[in-house]
Structure 1
Amino acid sequence: MSISLNHNSRRILIVEDDEHINTILHDGLTAAGYQCTQSYSGSEGMLNLAEREYHLIVLDLMLPGLSGEAFMHRLREEMKCRIPVIVLSAKDKLGDKLDLFMLGADDYVTKPFELEELLARIQVHIQRTAAVEPVNEFRYKNLVLDCTAYSVKLHGIALPLTRQEFRIVELLVRNPTRVFTKQDLYELAWEEIYLGEDKTITVHVSNIRSKIKAHDSESYIDTVWGIGFRLSP
């Protein structure tokens, strides 16, 4: 049996450290009509989530660094993100499955798995959330971020932000509880490897603050000393 889908506008994030399995997932889901992003660690998955929106996540548990369980906790508890998550794991005990559902997983597929079964489960979850359109406008205090128009307005006045400044504001506003390191912001906003140049991010954040302060006295971006930046509570 083959499953033919026409969901080329639906994006799936794959978080799987096994290169062979990751490739099988990518090729199979792409052939079924999905846009896929491959991540090989929990931390890389989190960076991809910060950069764009996804309709579903396929998540392995045994990941280097940030484990699948820790990934789920951060996704649901810290980021308050409700993207459907299908977990892949060799663990098949009922207790393990119940623990994952308690963490917020939407479904569970035991390794080794059949691609047809996974595709069927993905289709079910995609259809359940298909009526919910992606959010392209975000509001924070007196600021409105429009991801479609690439604009940031404060009290209705457009802020003259550079491309990197817009990306920094977008990352912060879309992830209001997350603390971004300077490395995170640089690699996501510049799409280049971070070489430890702290002044670049600091200067850009300072410029953003100055442009906001010209129209609003409230604090919008906090410095988390020794780590990076986040939205002000």
Structure 2
Amino acid sequence: MATILIIEDDIAIHSLIKEALNLHGYSTQSAYSGTEGKLLFEYGHVDLVLLDLMLPGMNGEEFLQDIRHNSTIPVIVISAKNDQHSKLELLTNGADDYITKPFDVKELLARIHIQLRHATLASVSSRKDIQYKNIDVNLDTREVKVNNQTLHFTGREYAILLLFLENPQKVFSRANIYESVWNEPYFDSDKTINMHISNLRNKLNREDTNYIKTIWGIGFKFD
């Protein structure tokens, strides 16, 4: 049974989410401030976080930034902010998904299911560690090192990296990457893919080494 941490200070919304999750077999933990959420996250077992942004104490952005130093647990942001800039900024800073208030409970449940499935597949793939040039990935702990320096990735960035590492030299179109990592049909998500590829490049590139090559008019490959 997956445990989901709900960090939401609106009591009505919090109760709605909690009831829906419990009805669908999830275990839940409740926090009504970012500070309380951080304590529950650090001292309990959590498989996924539902995170509001406008919180008393530590806000959602601060919470996300804090946990991304040492955790790749999936985080779905639930916010009234619906502008494209806010969504892209949150995804860039470590959120795995973003849903806007007011939301459909069935859509939220579907997004939770997808994120948990991705996390499970990544952890189950603990066949052996992956080594490629000066990149080392521990598939049990999801720790990634480049030149023995530990780097931190969001859940989606990590999944894209594994896709590349397991298929070096293979050229992936944006649609290939999206459908493999998001596990849903591709629908003109060039901005989303480009953003994640850019983030991966910025984190991986050391000593002028560019691992991800752009194949113009087609997509990307790992070299």
The TM-score by the shorter chain falls in which range?
A: 0.5 to 0.7
Structure 2 partner of 1:125: 115
- Segments of structure 2 that go 5 or more residues without pairing to the other structure are 125-223
The normalised TM-score by structure 1 is 0.52
1:52-201 pair list within 5 angstroms: 52-77=44-69, 80-131=70-121
In the TM superposition, residue 130 of structure 1 has moved relative to its aligned partner by: 1.6
Q: In the alignment, is residue 18 of structure 1 matched against residue 10 of structure 2?
A: yes
Question: Which 4+ runs in 1 deviate beyond 6 A?
Answer: none
Cα deviation, 1:34-92, whole Å, max 9, x if unaligned, reads: 00001000000011012212110000000001000000110113xx1110000000101
Bigger CA radius of gyration: 1
The normalised TM-score by structure 2 is 0.54
What value does the CA root-mean-square deviation take over the aligned residues?
1.3
In the TM superposition, residue 110 of structure 1 has moved relative to its aligned partner by: 0.2
In the TM superposition, residue 102 of structure 1 has moved relative to its aligned partner by: 1.2
Q: In the alignment, is residue 48 of structure 1 matched against residue 40 of structure 2?
A: yes
Q: Percent identity?
A: 44
Q: Which amino acid aligns with 2:5?
A: L
Q: Which amino acid aligns with 1:32?
A: H
Q: Which amino acid aligns with 1:66?
A: M
- Segments of structure 1 that go 5 or more residues without pairing to the other structure are 1-8, 135-233
Q: Secondary structure at the match of 2:68?
A: helix
Kindly tell me the number of residue pairs found equivalent between the two proteins.
124
